[in-house]
DNA sequence: ATGTCGAGCAAAGCTCGA
């Protein structure tokens, strides 16, 4: 069972690229972020034609998440992260697929920091901690996949020097990510590639960052502890970032036995 | 500060968020 996460940066603007990748990579489940469209304009018919059932949670212009499942319909179990009824951002969706609970999450970017956007990021992280702990208590196999907007360590970026003031590298952001791992969640890519410090999932459009491989690892798949024994592979479809009209993110994935 | 995208608004370049 292959589960992927991909920040598409506009699902309608990238639809050709998304369909191309689905056909090549053939994930059983694909968690998408930054669909950037309201629900009425989500391209579910094109995805269905490509063989994927889908659930989606969007809003106009910003954010938006979805879960695709090959050859079946994802069974939605949660829409929105609990803990703040006033938070209307479309950033969290959960489904059951083949006995695995899969979440597609888009954690707030948090820039500029300090400020209200960074406060929102940390508050969202705190809500994620509470919910993630709840999921572990349920003892259901679970994968929390998405754009976490956190570079976990200095080994997960080409060079931290020009990002030191960025919300993605702040000690508070990193501590929040570490706290998830401390609950027992497994960072699948790092688990499978403990010594490879050139794995990235995001390359900014600015400043020639793709051609010089100036990337960051910010898209993560966190596995519940019971899935460790089923983890057989994990990786990043790096070449996707180099194509025409590419998203600034590349898909990351795991294969579970 | 730089400079690159998608999307919205509205009809061409601007603004916003990333």
Cα gap A218→A199, rounded to integer Å:
10
pLDDT score for A164: 95
| A126 confidence band (pLDDT: 50, 70, 90) | very high
Q: What is the mean pLDDT of residues A115-144?
A: 97
Q: What is the mean pLDDT of residues A11-35?
A: 97
| A37 confidence band (pLDDT: 50, 70, 90) | very high
Write the pLDDT tens digit of every residue in A2-14: 999 999 999 999 9
| A253 confidence band (pLDDT: 50, 70, 90) | very high
List the single protein residue with the shortest CA to C1' distance from B8: A61
| A148 confidence band (pLDDT: 50, 70, 90) | very high
Superfamily of domain A2-256: Endonuclease/exonuclease/phosphatase (3.60.10.10)
| A214 confidence band (pLDDT: 50, 70, 90) | very high
Nucleotides of strand B under 7 angstroms from a protein beta carbon: 1-9, 16-18
pLDDT score for A141: 98
Does any strand B atom come closer than 7 Å to the Cβ of A12?
A: yes
What DSSP line would sit under A97-143, residue for residue?
Answer: ETTEEEEEEE-----SSSSHHHHHHHHHHHHHHHHHHHHHHHT--EE
Percent of residues, chain A, with pLDDT higher than 90: 100
Q: From the candidates A106, A148, A177, A200, which is the catalytic residue? A: A106
Cα gap A20→A129, rounded to integer Å:
35
* Residues 86-125 of chain A in contact with strand B via CB under 7 angstroms: 108-109, 111, 117
Does any strand B atom come closer than 7 Å to the Cβ of A41?
A: yes
> Which of A222, A131, A233, A141 is CA-nearest to residue A184?
A222
List the single protein residue with the shortest CA to C1' distance from B6: A10
Is A147 catalytic? The answer is yes
Does any strand B atom come closer than 7 Å to the Cβ of A207?
A: yes
| A15 confidence band (pLDDT: 50, 70, 90) | very high
Write the pLDDT tens digit of every residue in A174-210: 999 999 999 999 999 999 999 999 999 999 999 999 9
Q: From the candidates A28, A147, A166, A187, which is the catalytic residue? A: A147
* Nucleotide nearest residue A246, measured CA to C1': B5
User: How do the domains of chain A map onto residue ranges?
Assistant: 2-256
Chain-wide mean pLDDT for chain A?
A: 97
* Nucleotide nearest residue A37, measured CA to C1': B7
Write the pLDDT tens digit of every residue in A47-95: 999 999 999 999 999 999 999 999 999 999 999 999 999 999 999 999 9
């Amino acid at each position: 069972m292959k589960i992927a996460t991909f920040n598409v940066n506009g699902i309608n603007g990238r639809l050709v690229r998304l369909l191309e990748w689905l056909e090549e990579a053939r994930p059983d489940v694909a968690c998408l972020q930054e669909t950037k469209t309201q629900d009425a304009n989500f391209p579910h018919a094109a995805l269905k034609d490509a063989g994927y059932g889908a659930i989606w949670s969007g809003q106009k212009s910003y954010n938006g998440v979805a879960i695709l499942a090959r050859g079946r319909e994802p069974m939605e179990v949660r829409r929105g992260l609990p803990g703040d009824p006033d938070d209307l951002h479309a950033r969290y969706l959960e489904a059951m697929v083949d006995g695995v609970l899969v979440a597609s999450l888009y954690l707030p970017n948090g820039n500029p920091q300090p400020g209200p956007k960074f406060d929102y990021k940390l508050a969202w992280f705190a809500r994620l901690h509470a919910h993630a702990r709840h999921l572990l208590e349920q003892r259901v196999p679970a994968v929390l996949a998405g754009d976490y907007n956190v570079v976990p360590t200095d080994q997960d970026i080409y060079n931290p020097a020009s990002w030191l003031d960025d919300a993605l590298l702040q000690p508070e952001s990193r501590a929040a990510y570490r706290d998830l791992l401390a609950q027992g969640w497994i960072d699948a890519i790092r688990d499978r590639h403990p010594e490879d410090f050139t794995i990235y999932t995001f390359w900014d459009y600015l400043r020639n960052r793709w051609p010089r491989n100036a990337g960051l690892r910010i898209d993560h798949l966190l596995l519940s502890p019971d899935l460790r024994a089923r983890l057989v592979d994990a990786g990043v479809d790096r070449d996707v970032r180099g194509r025409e009209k590419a998203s600034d993110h590349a898909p990351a994935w795991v294969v579970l036995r």
